[in-house]
Every structure is written in C-alpha cells, then in structure tokens.
Amino acid sequence: MGRYVVRRLLQMVLVLFGASIILFVSLFVLPGDPIGTAAGERSRDPAVRAVLEKRYDLDKPLPVQYLHYVGRVVRGDFGESYRLRRPVSAYLRTRFGATARLALGAIVLEILIGMTAGVVAAVLRYSFWDVLVTLTTTLAIGVPTYVGGSILQGIFAQKFHIFPRQGGSGSWNLRYLFLPALTLASVDAALVARLMRGTMLESLRADYVRTAVAKGLSKRVVILKHVMRNSVIPVITYVGIAFGGLLGGALITETIFNWPGIGLALYTAISTQDNPVIIAVVTYGVGAFVIVNLIVDLTYAYLDPRIRLE
Amino acid sequence: MTDTPPLIDEAAPPKDAVPAAAFGIRGQTQFGDIRRRFFRNKLAVIGLTMVGLVFLLAVFAPLVAPDDPQAQNLSLTARPPSAAHWFGTDELGRDQLSRVIYGSRIAIVVGLASIVLALVLGVILGSIAGYRGGKADSVIMRTADAFFAFPLLIGAILIILVTGRGVVPVILSIGIFTWAVPARLLRSSILSVREAEYVEAARSLGASKWRIVTRHVLPNSLAPVLVYGMVSVGTAIVAETALSFLGVGVKPNVADWGNMISAGRAFFGFKDYLWEIPSLAVVFTVLGFVFVGDGLRDALDPRLR
C-alpha cells in the first residue's frame, strides 16, 4: 500500500505539472497583449511598456517566467484582482463556503436519488419503474444545466412559489439551497442511477448471489448484503470524482441561481476580464479535482482488496 | 525464404469457391448485423430521425427560414408567437423561427467538427500509446491525464480568452479538451485486443505492423470510441451553447441557440418563449444524438444491454 501511495503521489505531481504547463501556455505564450489589456491607450508609450513588462515579469525568458509563476501558485499568491483591487486568494476564500455547501447538497441528492433509482430499476428489471428510470435518466442527461435550472426556476419559483428563484447568501438555508443543488445533481444523479443499475444487474448474476438464494436467505438480505455491497464500489468512485469536480465551483448553476460561490466569481471575472481571478479559479479547480481523484483511488484500493496495488 | 508464397491471401478467395448465395444462404456481414440491430431499436431510429431533421434544417436553412435571421424590426420587438412570426420576435425584433433554424447550423458544425477533431487526435495518440507501449505510452497517457484534469468548459474558456470569440476557437477549444477520453478508451481496448489470437496469427503470418494495426487491431477496438463520439456530439453542442450562454462562445450577434437563451433569460417570468424555444431546440438535438449513441452501443455490443 505504501508504495502505491508514493507512486500515485508522484503521478499526481506529474499531472499537476502538465496542467500548469497547459495553463501557462494558454495564458502567456499564445498571442495576446496582456500589457495592452492592463494599460489600454498608455501601453503605446514604450517607457510605460518597459515598466509594466518588468513588473509582470514579461521581460524574462519563458522558463524563468514559468518558474516564477509556479512559485507564486505554490504559495497561494495569485496577485491582485483587477476589478476589486484586493488579493485574489483572500477574495476566493470568502467564496469557498458557498461552493462547498452547494457541492455537498448536490452530492447528497445524487446519492439519494441516483442510488434509489438504480436499485429499483435493477431489482424490478423491465418493469414500469425500470422503463421510467431509463427514460428519466436519458432526459436528465440530454437537458443542459442551464435549461434544467431555468425550468426548475420556472416551475418551483415563478409558478408555485415553493422555493425562492435565486440568491441566498450561500448559507445553509435549505430553501435557497434546494433548487441549485437539484440542478447541479441532475446529470450526475442520472449517471449514478445508470451505473448502479448496471453493476447491480451484473452482481445479480454472480455465483455468490445464486448460492445465497439457494441457501434460503430472504430476498431483502440477499439484495442488501450481497448484491448492493458488491455493486456500490464503482458508484462510490464515480460520486467521489464528481465531488472533486463540484468543489471546483459550479460555473453555470451558480450563475443561474446567483449563488455566491467560486463559479459565480469565475463568471464575474470572465465578464469583467479579471484575469488574475480566472487563473486562480482554474488552477484551484484543477488542483481540487486531481487531489480528490487521488483520495478516491486510495479509498477504492482500501475498500476493494482485489485491486492490485503494484 | 523470400519466394515462399503467402499462406493465406485475404484479398482473393480461392478460385473454386462457391458463392454462399448458391446454397440459399444470405450473406451476413458484421456490418449488416450491426445495422439490423440498430434499426430494430425504436429509440435509435427516433434519434436518427431527430438528428436527420436538424441536419436538414442546417443544410437548407436559407430555403426553410421565413426571414433573414439578422433583419431587425425595432417597431416589432419581443412579440409573442403569432401567425406572422410563429416563434415570436426577439428584443431587436428579429424573427425567432429564422434564428432557431439558422442556429442549427452553428450547433451541427461545432458539434461535428469538434468531435471529429477530438476523435482524430484521440485515435492517433491512443493507438500509439496502446500499441507501442513503453515510453510513448507513459508520455501520451500522462499528457492525457493533465488535459483530463480540466473540466471541459473551464479548459475551453481558457483558450477562448486567448483567441477571442468565434466559431473556430469554440471548435478548437472543445476538441482540444475532449481528445483525452477517446484516447484512453482506445488505448485500453487496444491493450485487450493486442494479445488476441487473431492478432498473433496475423503477426506469425508476417503481416506488417501497419497492416496489423489498421486491419486487425483498430477495427476491433474502435467500437467504444465510436459510441463515445456519437454521444459526445451532444455534449459538444451543450458545451458550445453553454459557452455562448456565459459570453465566451461564438460572436454575440450570431444566430446561435446559446446566444438566444442567454439574451432571452433577461425576460424570465414574463416573455419565457424567448428562452424556452431555443432551449427546446438544444434539448431536441442533444437527445437525438444520445438516442443514436445508445442505439449504436447496443448494436455494436448486444451483451451490454
């Protein structure tokens, strides 16, 4: 296990290194004029240019620029937001809570809805409920988040006034949390349901299940203790990875529901061309995804001893 | 050794072979099998019809659309659906029906082009990684991991921030941040096919590497990649419209479903048809591709049902 952890850690460092190169290349090397963007008209003056190039490191060779950039990122220093004139990391820290709450809410819904639907569909295969689950999941996968969110707002907020349409301070107020969490969960819940149904059907055919039935265990015990326990591991993996993605901020859902998390910060930054914030959110999102992925893989290896750890 | 005739020549059947039809046996190719299974699946046929309809609209947009999608009429802004304007008019008095029809062009072009780009990159890199193995494999797969760590939208936004808005940047950005998945799929299915007996047979008959890869390995490992490609045309269309929705997609004045939804949401609650109609167009198209993709998966591998 120890060697596996070390190997995975090394792999993670490699991935982060690659991702940072992609980020660096797309932001600094491809054509574009950061000085022009920052200074506007004044950038035509060569003296101003020289000062700004020095300040933003642009006069150094690229490898040096890259090392400086990585050094700053590792220390969590993303510079100052153009728009707010305050450090980006402090600003994003105030946004993290809202994103984490939304992610947790969405994950809970994904597990509850997805697993229930998947189990029902597998146990009652080819029944009305199975067909219903298949249809609903296909629909959920086909409806983009921004459409799904708008529809939920239209029905539950505009028409029946059950939930507020948008806003909330990003706190644990469930009335505000429910609609965005459901929007965010819809696609993944559908995928969890499909995955659960598939793995359940596979385990239902397994020899140990036939044995369990043959020795006279009740259907409930067989399903809960034998089938589900062995089908749940891929689902856990999937949900874990999805959680890593969610922690990076839900760009569209937060924008639609005006939910003050990291995704909304990114949206605001895109529409105001606040590059330091954009870079910080992307870096953070990629980091969160990679780290959660590692944790999931390690848990997976721990849960299922059959996985070879070489 | 050099003048030994090949043991089996795949191209030419023995001269005295009797055509199967002579015995009243209908020739049955693998492709025919797949096609039969696909067309027996009702949902797949429905999906194909939906996709075909959108495709026709895109091709014949100038003939079908009642109006110029850019023609403004400022005395007739944001009107609800009527006999003159079936889908109403938008905030600049442009005919919504015509804009929805022309929007199908962007959706189809971006959806297909970006996925073709991703598949080409993925198939080339994935087959090198899977068949060569070793160093090439680790370099390619670690690169894929790095790209995989970027959510599609975020990666696409990065590229578009640099290149500016437009159809080509959207295609490139979606393609570049999608290739990693088909590359992985292809690599793992090549790994399982590579050791198959028929590949070993081809190798022992002296077939060249190129022939083995293109004739034996790829045809037998492409199925998951094709299914993925079909479903992800829908995903790419969603991404394209989402980018427009966020203000980093195609140019804002272009007749595009994402642009229309984005502009229409300003009228949420009182002129809902402005965002509902283009949303329906997106859902219709994406569902079409999902149905076709699911049907293709079941047809290619009936065991998966």
CB of A167 less than 8 A from some CB of B: no
pLDDT for A38 equals 59
Asked whether the beta carbons of A139 and A151 are under 8 A apart, the reply is no
Residues B80 and A16: their CA atoms lie apart, in Å, by 51
Task: Write the burial class of residue B188 (CB in 10 Å: 0-12 exposed, 13-18 middle, 19+ buried).
Answer: middle
pLDDT for B79 equals 79
**Binary contact (B158, A26; C-beta < 8 A):** yes
Hey, which residues 217-236 in chain A have their CB within 8 Å of chain B? none
CB of B238 less than 8 A from some CB of A: yes
Helix (H), strand (E) at residue B53: helix B42-59
- Collect all residues of chain B within an 8 Å Cβ-Cβ radius of residue A275: 161
Kindly tell me if the per-residue pLDDT of B173 is higher than 90: yes
Kindly tell me if the per-residue pLDDT of B8 is higher than 50: no
What ipTM was assigned to the predicted interfaces of this complex?
0.80
Hey, which residues 282-301 in chain B have their CB within 8 Å of chain A? 282-283, 286-287, 290-291, 294
Looking at per-residue pLDDT, the higher value among A52 and B226 belongs to: B226
- Collect all residues of chain A within an 8 Å Cβ-Cβ radius of residue B291: 138
pLDDT in tens, chain A (310 residues): 677 788 888 888 888 888 888 877 776 655 555 566 656 666 667 777 777 777 666 677 778 878 887 888 888 888 778 778 788 889 999 999 899 999 999 999 999 999 999 999 998 888 899 999 988 998 888 888 888 888 888 888 888 888 887 777 767 788 888 899 999 999 889 999 999 998 888 888 888 888 988 998 888 888 888 888 888 888 888 888 888 888 887 889 999 999 999 999 999 988 887 777 888 888 888 888 888 888 888 887 777 666 554 4
- The closest alpha carbon to A227, from A245, A246, A208, belongs to A208
Looking at per-residue pLDDT, the higher value among B294 and A31 belongs to: B294
CB atoms near residue A97 (< 10 Å): 16
pLDDT for A140 equals 86
Token pair of A17, please? 């290194």
**Binary contact (B163, A143; C-beta < 8 A):** no
Asked whether the beta carbons of B129 and B281 are under 8 A apart, the reply is no
Residues B220 and A243: their CA atoms lie apart, in Å, by 34
- The closest alpha carbon to A150, from B78, B261, B154, B284, belongs to B261
* pLDDT band at B286; cut points 50, 70, 90: very high
Task: Write the burial class of residue A25 (CB in 10 Å: 0-12 exposed, 13-18 middle, 19+ buried).
Answer: middle
CB atoms near residue A74 (< 10 Å): 9
Amino acid found at B303: R
CB of B275 less than 8 A from some CB of A: yes
Residues A141 and A247: their CA atoms lie apart, in Å, by 21
How far from A113 is each of A107, A108, A185, A193, CA to CA, in Å? 10, 8, 9, 8
Token pair of B228, please? 């993925």
Hey, which residues 112-151 in chain A have their CB within 8 Å of chain B? 138-139, 141-147, 150-151
Alpha helices in B68-95, H assignment, sequence order: none
- Does pTM top 0.80 for this prediction? yes
Helix (H), strand (E) at residue B147: helix B134-148
SS3 track for B250-262: CCCCCCCHHHHHH
pLDDT for A40 equals 62
Asked whether the beta carbons of A190 and A137 are under 8 A apart, the reply is yes
- The closest alpha carbon to A239, from A101, A100, A103, A95, belongs to A103
CB atoms near residue B218 (< 10 Å): 19
- Following CA atoms B16, B17, B21, B22 in sequence, which dihedral angle do they give, to the nearest 10 degrees? 40
Token pair of B233, please? 């045309």
- The closest alpha carbon to B98, from B277, B279, B237, B241, belongs to B277
Residues B29 and B275: their CA atoms lie apart, in Å, by 47
Q: Sign of the CA dihedral A161, A165, A169, A174?
A: positive
Close Cβ partners of B5 (under 8 Å, ≥ 6 residues apart) = none
- The closest alpha carbon to A146, from B100, B245, B151, B110, belongs to B245
pLDDT for B88 equals 83
Q: C-alpha B221: how far from its chain's center?
A: 18
Asked whether the beta carbons of A284 and A268 are under 8 A apart, the reply is no
**Binary contact (A18, B150; C-beta < 8 A):** no
Q: In chain A, how long is the greatest CA-to-CA distance?
A: 87
Rg (CA), chain B: 24
B155, closest residue in chain A (CA to CA):
A282
Asked whether the beta carbons of A249 and A265 are under 8 A apart, the reply is yes
Q: In chain B, how long is the greatest CA-to-CA distance?
A: 87
Indicate the residue of A31, A32, A147 with minimum beta-carbon distance to B283. Answer: A147
Token pair of A208, please? 């140990």
Distance between A254 CA and the closest CA of chain B, angstroms: 12
Residues A14 and A205: their CA atoms lie apart, in Å, by 40
Asked whether the beta carbons of A258 and A247 are under 8 A apart, the reply is no
Residues A36 and A254: their CA atoms lie apart, in Å, by 31
Q: C-alpha B241: how far from its chain's center?
A: 15
Alpha helices in chain A, H assignment, sequence order: 2-24, 34-39, 46-55, 62-74, 88-109, 116-123, 128-142, 145-152, 174-204, 207-214, 219-221, 229-247, 251-257, 262-271, 275-303
- Collect all residues of chain B within an 8 Å Cβ-Cβ radius of residue A23: 158
Indicate the residue of A30, A144, A282 with minimum beta-carbon distance to B154. Answer: A282
- The closest alpha carbon to A295, from A224, A228, A227, A247, belongs to A247
Kindly tell me if the per-residue pLDDT of B280 is higher than 90: yes
Q: Is A87 helix (H, G, I), strand (E, B) or coil?
A: strand
**Binary contact (B150, A22; C-beta < 8 A):** yes
For the segment B200-218, what is each residue's pLDDT rounded down to a tens digit?
898 899 888 888 888 888 8
Asked whether the beta carbons of A274 and A184 are under 8 A apart, the reply is no
Q: Sign of the CA dihedral B238, B94, B166, A24?
A: negative
Look at chain A and count its residues. Answer: 310
**Binary contact (B245, A146; C-beta < 8 A):** yes
How many cross-chain Cβ pairs, A to B, lie less than 8 Å apart?
A: 114
A80 backbone dihedrals φ, ψ, rounded to 5°: -110, 140
B247-264 burial: b if 16+ Cβ within 10 Å, else e: bbbbeeebbbbbbbbbbb
First and final C-alpha spacing in chain A: 9
Angle between helix axes A174-204 and A128-142 (nearest 10 degrees) is 120
